[in-house]
Structures are given as C-alpha cells and as structure tokens.
Amino acid sequence: MRLTNPLSAVALTLCLAVTAIPAAQAATEAPFTQQAFATAQHDGKPILVDISAPWCPTCAKQRPILTQLMKDPAFKDLVVYQVDFDSQKDVVRALGAQMQSTLVVYRGAAEKGRSTGDTNAESIKALLQKTNG
C-alpha cells in the first residue's frame, strides 16, 4: 500500500503501534456474581470487590483512582468485581460491608484488607498491593 499523504503514514504507524500493545496490561473488571467470585477465589487470583452506588460522591472520587490503578502493570492480574450497594444488598451483607465506598481485597479466599470512604490514591494503591503477596 502506498501512502501519498505524510499524515496518513503517521496515522497508520500510530494505529499499528497502539494495536501492538498487549491487552493483558490491565486489570479485569466485571459485575459481581457469586459464581465468578468463587471461581476467582478458588484459582487464587488477586481480587478487589468495589462496593459502590451511583449517587455516592465518595464512590465518584474513588472511580478515577481505581481506573488509573487498574492500568498499572503491577495489577494486571487483579480481578475487580463491582457490587451495587443498592441492588445487591445480599452480597453487601455477605461481605460484611456497612456502607458504599467500601473496597475489599482478597488473595484467593483470604481477605487481605478493606477500606471504606478512602479517596487517597496512595492508600488505595497500598490496599491493592496487599493482593500481590
């Protein structure tokens, strides 16, 4: 293929470079189901359960922090399960959470830590790091 426009050549090069980046560099995010959670625990995976609500201002502050951390290669194996505080009350109770904006981390079946209402990027990162060991 012959490209006559130099900008087309640059655009093509950028597209090829972006598609060459491995997709496995980010955490996996999914809605919470008991079966998926149990499977991840059985497989010994690092897990974050994010209990949030769409109306929660603290949850809204946590979201961009978590999104950024999930891109960190250190957390590429992390499985993130979203629990809706309002519609999944049974799960919220089973996890022992008292309120939205609760983050619970596991390594396999073992709970490694939790926090509620934390919007500090460094302490959230430290919480997620507990899943790596």
24-70 pLDDT, tens per residue? 578 999 999 999 999 999 999 999 999 999 999 999 999 999 999 99
CATH of domain 23-132: 3.40.30.10
87-108 pLDDT, tens per residue? 999 999 999 999 999 999 999 9
Q: Rounded to two decimals, what is the model's pTM?
A: 0.81
7-19 pLDDT, tens per residue? 444 343 434 443 3
- Count of Cβ atoms closer than 10 Å to residue 6 Cβ: 8
Q: In Å, how far are 42, 76, 101, 107 from 58, measured between CA atoms?
A: 31, 25, 6, 25
pLDDT computed for residue 4 by the predictor: 52
Taking the C-alpha atoms of residue 86 and residue 53, their distance in angstroms, rounded to an integer, is 7
Instruction: Domain ranges for the chain, please list them.
Output: 23-132
Question: Which of 110, 91, 77, 99 lies closest to 35, judged by CA?
Answer: 91
